[in-house]
Amino acid sequence: MEKLKIAGGYPLKGTVNISGAKNSAVALIPATILAQSPVTIEGLPDISDVHILKGLLEEIGGTAEFKDNEMYVNPAEMISMPLPSGKVKKLRASYYLMGAMLGRFKKAVIGLPGGCHLGPRPIDQHIKGFEALGAQVTNEQGAIYLRAEELKGARIYLDVVSVGATINIMLAAVLAKGQTIIENAAKEPEIIDVATLLSSMGARIKGAGTDVIRIDGVESLHGCRHSIIPDRIEAGTYMIIGAAMGQEVLIDNVIPLHLESLIAKFREMGIHVETNNDQIWIVGGQKELKAVDIKTLVYPGFPTDLQQPFTSLLTKSSGTSVVTDTIYSARFKHIDELRRMGAKIKVEGRSAIVSGPTKLQGAKVKASDLRAGAALVAAGLIAEGVTEVTGLEHIDRGYSQLEEKLTSLGATIWREKLTEQEIEQLQSS
């Protein structure tokens, strides 16, 4: 087990190159199951979720190679091997194995997914979609059993706008007979990316990126080469760090349109932002930042995945800011840790009320989930003194080469092994 140590309080300057999107990668990799010949995906992030999914494809008989951010998958020999436990519990996106394996084999057994603990994260809309396509779905001892004689296109209205359910139903529907219509679909850029891969494999999908997606089932899908979109959440995290501590930070390989909600908030706060086709330039380090309120919403609203790191930035703003998470009921576990560092934040229901500005001080803190980890790293860079962050298994699910990228901006950040005493303390806390 390791911890990150950050000597904070120093200005940052330079360029950060953004990796491929985690939330696309974790759907694109299972999507390869649907093809009959090899698929290559370029630009994948080097994160633990990607490595775990590669292992799961190998467990079901696939061949997978991952080198230089490119994954080659040969799905020809895959079989519908049950995956009731083990690696599937280490990440959220193992739920995409349900849609992909149901689509290809008409049966699957997949353990309930893991992922960040952010309050209840049901998968009832995924199941509703699979059942509408003709599958029988049962939950037996923590694993979902799916089977179908055949899958037939259907009209599915999602009661909740869900990224996972939208993609999972697309995966199950591309090889179904006839037309599937997903209404009230999620519109996140990652959904368009998955639809682009499936279309290159021969699927017929229209409307991805709008709230009505139409899929005409085809007989079979073939291999292809696909280049992933950049990670808007990783980009947003570095934008936040740049706004807090940057003199001039250039975010390279990004789609600025995907970050309009964050850019608009930065401008409200008085942060200078410029964009071109694939770069965002932040001039941070302003003497005074204005307090702002944010409310997380489905895309193109403010992303819940940036709410936690954004809260660290708000500790530097003058006045009272209110952060409301409408997507998850319990995405505030980082707040206690930020308080340890001197932040003045109260949680009231689904809102965190931040009073600023406060001078953060380095402290020993623990990441409870992926973006809590990003919030604590951002806070560690802002704080005077040394911050130690544990819980790196969460951060490593989503940030490729974190220390290298921050070091290239001039940050002092490094990993150290935890002592036995520290491991005992962590395990008992």
Ligand X SMILES: CC(=O)N[C@H]1[C@@H](OP(=O)(O)OP(=O)(O)OC[C@H]2O[C@@H](n3ccc(=O)[nH]c3=O)[C@H](O)[C@@H]2O)O[C@H](CO)[C@@H](O)[C@@H]1O
Residues near ligand PEP, by CB under 6 A: 22, 91-93, 115-116, 305, 370-371, 398
User: Which CB, 129 or 398, lies closer to ligand PEP?
Assistant: 398
Residues 157/183, Cβ–Cβ less than 8 Å: yes
Give strand pairing partners of 248.
Answer: 13
User: Which CB, 22 or 187, lies closer to ligand PEP?
Assistant: 22
In single-letter form, the type of residue at position 16 comes to V
How far apart (Å, rounded) are the C-alpha atoms in residues 56 and 276?
A: 39
**Per-residue interface string for the shown chain with ligand X, residues 4-23, x marking contact by CB under 6 A:** -------------------x
How far apart (Å, rounded) are the C-alpha atoms in residues 383 and 182?
A: 46
Q: How many angstroms separate the first and last alpha carbons of the chain?
A: 15
Give yes or no for residue 93 binding ligand X (CB under 6 A): yes
Residues 168/96, Cβ–Cβ less than 8 Å: yes
How big is the site for ligand X, counted in residues (CB under 6 A)?
21
User: Which CB, 91 or 175, lies closer to ligand PEP?
Assistant: 91
Residues 6+ apart with CB under 8 A from 170: 99, 182, 191, 194, 195, 198, 205, 208, 213, 215
Residue nearest to ligand X (CB): 164
Among ligand PEP, ligand X, none, partner that 371 touches (CB below 5 to 8 angstroms by kind): ligand PEP
Residues 296/304, Cβ–Cβ less than 8 Å: yes
Which tokens hold the place of 308? 């936690």
Given the residues 4, 108, 116, 402, the one annotated as active site: 116
Query: Taking the complex as a whole, how short is the minimal distance between the CB of residue 255 and ligand PEP, in angstroms?
Result: 17
Query: Taking the complex as a whole, how short is the minimal distance between the CB of residue 3 and ligand X, in angstroms?
Result: 24
In angstroms, how far is CA 25 from the centroid of its own chain? 9
In angstroms, how far is CA 140 from the centroid of its own chain? 28
User: Which CB, 335 or 363, lies closer to ligand X?
Assistant: 335
Among ligand X, ligand PEP, none, partner that 55 touches (CB below 5 to 8 angstroms by kind): none
Tell me the C-alpha to C-alpha distance, in Å, between residue 224 and each of 204, 240, 396.
Answer: 15, 36, 29
Which tokens hold the place of 165? 């359910």
User: Which CB, 291 or 395, lies closer to ligand PEP?
Assistant: 395
Residues 113-172 interacting with ligand X (rule: CB under 6 A)? 120-126, 160, 162-165
Query: Taking the complex as a whole, how short is the minimal distance between the CB of residue 389 and ligand PEP, in angstroms?
Result: 16
Q: Based on the residue annotation, tell me whether 116 is a catalytic residue of this protein.
A: yes
User: Which CB, 100 or 411, lies closer to ligand X?
Assistant: 100
Which tokens hold the place of 158? 């999602």
Give yes or no for residue 304 binding ligand X (CB under 6 A): yes
**Per-residue interface string for the shown chain with ligand X, residues 26-45, x marking contact by CB under 6 A:** x-------------------
Q: Which of 307, 304, 286, 292 minimizes the C-alpha distance to 244?
A: 286
User: Which CB, 402 or 413, lies closer to ligand X?
Assistant: 402
Query: Taking the complex as a whole, how short is the minimal distance between the CB of residue 303 and ligand PEP, in angstroms?
Result: 9
Which tokens hold the place of 322? 């209110």
How far apart (Å, rounded) are the C-alpha atoms in residues 322 and 415?
A: 33
Query: Taking the complex as a whole, how short is the minimal distance between the CB of residue 76 and ligand X, in angstroms?
Result: 27
Among ligand PEP, ligand X, none, partner that 398 touches (CB below 5 to 8 angstroms by kind): ligand PEP
**Per-residue interface string for the shown chain with ligand X, residues 47-76, x marking contact by CB under 6 A:** ------------------------------
Query: Taking the complex as a whole, how short is the minimal distance between the CB of residue 331 and ligand PEP, in angstroms?
Result: 8
DSSP string, 133-170: TT-EEEEETTEEEEE-S--B--EEE-SS--HHHHHHHH
How many other CB atoms are found less than 10 A from the CB of residue 378? 28
> Active-site residues: which are they?
116
The footprint of ligand X (CB under 6 A) covers 23, 26, 92-93, 120-126, 160, 162-165, 186, 304-305, 327-328
